[in-house]
A and B are shown apart, each in its own frame.
Chain A
């Protein structure tokens, strides 16, 4: 079973040379720590920055330079700032190559729910609805089951949707799943986790073809 850092490590392998990447809050933010250093990648934050760098050194933080999680950040050479309308313009027009975000539920038709639990939690969708409606390549980083032990990989989402038919890939502590026209296809399993254990933790049907390799999280 993977740690959150290992999930981020595995997703980092999906980040290719020349990609502009938007990272959501939570596990997705960690992905930046594990991207190969020999490729050129720029991170976009929807509040208006391209070319995000690491957190600032103590004492060098600037209230005017933050990411979408409201954390203080730095910028790298080649960075730029822009306004929120422009930011979502580049997202809608698909200039951003890869979007990585968290979810409460993902369904086998590619639907995603991550912004509201009726009667319990209403924080708002932020930029998630815009991102999932427009991005061509969406990877979800999430835990396979919730705290009550229930699967978050479902035949149909039960929570209010964030977007429909948009998720392409899901990486959890147990598995890498691809969403195909016929549903979830099991691509890889976490080291030491069996296919049976993944099937047991998954409410949706899984397409399992041939040998399922272990994830590379080196």
Chain B
């Protein structure tokens, strides 16, 4: 077995420097690597390009990095829940590349799968297609999109083992699965890190070959963005 386990978030994030491009998993606040984000704040690395479907909220998730002006450029599909983000974007402090969500996911998956580029119909005829190669397949127009190139990918899983194998829970799989192995170095933050041999190989979502470093997060707030419930007696 090749051991990927490291003992702390600080060890896991070693080597991250100013100006790097970092992928971060999660959809909204669901499945974000919250311990790693806290460490990025502590490290105070700046001029980052972050590839993440969303930009967090004002006081949680990537919003914490935005507050400290650590992000130079955001690549996302939806950034609606963050007032500080909007302010920085409208004032020109923050560069923003809005990408259709499925294209964003596929640009990660392509990087993970060693495919340099692909055609997709998403965004054809819109400003997303501006400057991109267009081609017709089966009577339908498509645009050429390229795989992302990132220095680090930081993903969050439910369970992981020392070999770097990952299992996700619920909809927290989202971008964490296609981002694993999509950068030069992938760091996995897990809620529960178990010895190799504990997880059933049949149940592994991402094999350890995609992960270079794995650590167990100290605490997980797992904040809910839109708590919607119905009364018990309904």
Which residues of A does B touch, CB under 8 Å?
Answer: 45-49, 54-73, 81-88, 91-92, 111, 122-130, 133-134, 160-165
Contact = CB atoms under 8 A, between A and B. Distances in A.
Contact of A164 (B100, B125, B227, B230): B125
B78 A71 contact: no
Contacts of B91: none
A55 B78 CA distance: 23
A180 B157 CA distance: 47
Contacts of A88: 101-103, 105-106
B207 interface: no
A interface: dominant SS: loop
Contact of A58 (B78, B96, B231): B231
B122 A130 contact: yes
Most buried by B among A68, A84, A111, A163: A84
B28 A84 contact: no
25 contacts: A46-B102, A48-B174, A55-B228, A57-B231, A58-B229, A59-B229, A60-B229, A65-B170, A67-B171, A70-B30, A70-B81, A71-B227, A81-B168, A81-B171, A83-B177, A84-B173, A87-B102, A92-B120, A124-B76, A124-B79, A129-B128, A133-B120, A133-B124, A164-B126, A165-B125
Number of chain B interface residues as a range? 35 or more
B108 to A, nearest CB: 7
A123 B229 CA distance: 26
Nearest to A112: B126
Contacts of B224: 61, 63, 66, 72
Contact of A65 (B109, B171, B225): B171
A117 to B, nearest CB: 12
A123 B28 CA distance: 13
B148 interface: no
Contact of B170 (A64, A91, A128): A64
Contacts of B158: 64
Give the 3 A-B residue pairs with the shortest CB-CB distance, closest first: A88-B102, A130-B102, A123-B80
B106 A66 contact: no
Nearest to B57: A70
Most buried by B among A46, A58, A88: A88
Given A88-B106, A130-B102, A164 B77 contact: no
Interface in B103-144: 103-106, 108-109, 120-128
Given A55-B228, A84-B101, A161 B125 contact: yes
A126 B226 CA distance: 17
A62 B226 CA distance: 11
Contact of A123 (B79, B108, B205): B79
B77 A126 contact: yes
Interface in B68-104: 76-81, 86, 89, 96, 98, 100-104
Nearest to B205: A83
A123 B173 contact: no
Nearest to A125: B100
A80 to B, nearest CB: 11
Nearest to A62: B170
Nearest to A63: B222
Given A70-B30, A129-B122, A134-B122, A63 B174 contact: no
B169 interface: yes
A66 to B, nearest CB: 5
Contacts of A161: 125-127
Contact of B80 (A59, A62, A124, A129): A124
Given A47-B30, A70-B226, A126-B77, 10 more contacts: A57-B231, A59-B229, A63-B222, A64-B158, A86-B177, A124-B77, A130-B100, A130-B101, A130-B120, A134-B122
B225 A70 contact: yes
A72 B127 CA distance: 33
B228 to A, nearest CB: 4
